[in-house]
Amino acid sequence: MNNKIMKSGLAAMMAASLVGCSSSSSDNSNNVLTVGITAQMNGVFSPLYYESAYDAYAINLIYQSMLQYDENEELQPVLAKELPTISDDGKTVTFKLNKGVKFSDGSKLTSSDVKYTFTVLADPSYTGRFSSDVENIEGYKEYHDGDATELSGIETPDDYTVVFHMTQPRIDAVTTFGTRAICSDTQYKYKKGHISKIEKDTSNPIGSGAYKLNKYSKATGASFVRNENFKAKKGEYSIDKVIIKVCSTSTELNELQKGNVDYLPENADPTKIGQVSLDDNLTFNTYPRATEGYVYFNCAQGPTADPAVRKALAYATDRQGFVDSFFSWEKASKEAKKEKLAFVPAVYANPASANLGTYIRGEEALDGLETYEFNEDKANQILDEAGWKMTDDGYRYKDGQKLRVRFMIAEGSSSLETLIPMIEKTYKDIGVDLKQTILEFNSLLSKTSDDSALGEWEMSCLAMSFTGVANTDLNSMLKTGDVNNYARLSDSELDSLLDEAMYTTDDAKSTELYKQVMIKENDLLPYLALYGNQNFNLYNKRVKNMKTGPIHNWSQAMDTATLD
């Protein structure tokens, strides 16, 4: 989709044009920014294959796209000279590229690299999660399923012009093509149907961004140094080195207070935020977060394949009670306490949506949208009517099957430490046998992505970070067979609605259709949105000018950042 959707554990919840003179490099050993994260990076530093938000930090430092959202949620040219032109029928998008851009290996970035990047996504042997970004390009079926030797719908009339031809208009075409990070076509010898090396060798990135990878360790994190082939405007990208350091949730604040870490991004823990707000050496910035924490149900196997069970579990989850309990101030500055920490979303979708955000955040009611306010009586009624009968042992059964729900969660989540005891009680009250399995975050992501492991879990939870403002993320999250459809939902009527909403240039029509999508989504309930929250970046006061926003995080804001 246009938004590079990124998964993160609930524990973690707590560009300029390339012209002009090179920025000066300082010999000051203190000119190093250390950023703390609370989960390991996978080391998948490829824009073609990454899944984790933590790996995305590295990708943002190393790679560039033709366009990028800024802190005000507006698209700005990066590799492109300007915003693209669009044909009257909406089916052709043309980008003009800046000249003189080089990858970190010294090779020139041209239109050939752009075509290569999208061609890999269309390759018949591609196994990543971004194939839906190219399915609408002319010649995709012939290339992916047939004998075509090139993806005909991308033209490169010269080294600095790229033309995308689509089979039908797409509401998010500009951001889908524009925000895709561009890879070098010389790093690997590409041959159609044989991209195993591209897929496997993802820890050796070559990008055109301001930084390049220096060292990486899954246990400790990664470091990045200047890309000497990168040209920046005077005064931009002044920080010499960036370190991403893995910390535990229990020690990250102490690391910040001691100066071992300069910056803790996207924190949602009120206790830590409060302590930072009272520390003379530390500070924070805050804004609404383009993220939702959510539960996803296994819609393919087990008791949660029954929509009635999913709805009953939703009604038995006191989300408002959880938000009120976890997202509450204790000790904090008056300035911090002015901020509303969190809310219960009406539906699992992008809370930063430009035209549907008020419905998603629950600020405006959407007729026909069931929002599942906490109601144990309603949960019991649904299960009774669905044939799940309560027995003397206090649990429900249907056709000899006990209503057992295995909840797979990531270790080290302070928010889940609040949520789990709440749902243990209410689920038991309605006759559900809740079992927990605790996994390391990346293991959880791998397990629930694996179709062969569907028999091992009924529900899990993640947080999703959205990196755009369109609504088309819903297509990948809900469309039958999409790799981002973790719930394995399959509904033909919903699929048709999703297609109709995306493949148009009529913004008003698309918006109305996505309203219908959200109503249908909540009726089928593959996902239960737990919370949305205010974003807090916590950092040492020596960090200056880090201009972040809802869809513009620290790794995308390094152009203006400085260190005292």
Residues 6+ apart with CB under 8 A from 446: none
Asked if residue 302 and residue 181 are part of one domain, the reply reads no
Asked if residue 324 and residue 430 are part of one domain, the reply reads yes
Torsion of CA 7, 227, 96, 129, to 10 degrees: -20
Domain at 354, CATH number = 3.10.105.10
Distance between CA atoms of residues 65 and 18, nearest Å: 12
Q: Is residue 556 part of a domain?
A: no
Distance between CA atoms of residues 497 and 511, nearest Å: 12
In angstroms, what CA-CA distances link 219 with 9, 43, 189? Answer: 17, 11, 31
- Read off the pLDDT of residues 169-205 as tens digits, 9 standing for 90 and up: 999 999 999 999 999 999 999 999 999 999 999 999 9
- Read off the pLDDT of residues 224-283 as tens digits, 9 standing for 90 and up: 999 999 998 899 999 999 999 999 999 999 999 999 999 999 988 899 999 999 999 999
CB 66 within 8 A of CB 242: no
417 band by pLDDT with thresholds 50, 70 and 90: confident
> Does 18 have pLDDT greater than 50?
no
Asked if residue 294 and residue 176 are part of one domain, the reply reads no
Distance between CA atoms of residues 95 and 177, nearest Å: 9
Q: Is residue 103 part of a domain?
A: yes
CB 546 within 8 A of CB 537: yes
What is the residue range of 451's domain?
Answer: 290-534
- Read off the pLDDT of residues 370-389 as tens digits, 9 standing for 90 and up: 999 999 999 999 999 999 99
**Percent of the chain having pLDDT more than 70?**
95
User: How many structural domains does the chain have?
Assistant: 2
Asked if residue 182 and residue 295 are part of one domain, the reply reads no
Asked if residue 317 and residue 178 are part of one domain, the reply reads no
Asked if residue 425 and residue 294 are part of one domain, the reply reads yes
Tell me which of 170, 194, 218 is where a domain ends.
194
Asked if residue 516 and residue 406 are part of one domain, the reply reads yes
Q: Is residue 477 part of a domain?
A: yes
Tell me which of 144, 170, 194 is where a domain ends.
194
Domain at 177, CATH number = 3.90.76.10
Count how many Cα atoms sit within 13 Å of the Cα of residue 402 in the half-sphere of its side chain: 12
Q: Is residue 248 part of a domain?
A: no
3-state helix, strand, coil in the chain (%, to 5): 30, 25, 45
Cα angle 13-16-21, degrees, rounded to a multiple of 5: 135
Asked if residue 468 and residue 364 are part of one domain, the reply reads yes
Tell me which of 194, 219, 243 is where a domain ends.
194
Q: Is residue 423 part of a domain?
A: yes
Q: Is residue 421 part of a domain?
A: yes
Q: Is residue 465 part of a domain?
A: yes
SS3 of 87, please? coil
DSSP readout, 33-85? EEEEESS-------TTT--BHHHHHHHHHH--BSEEE-TTS-EEESSBSSPPE
Q: Is residue 561 part of a domain?
A: no
Asked if residue 319 and residue 173 are part of one domain, the reply reads no
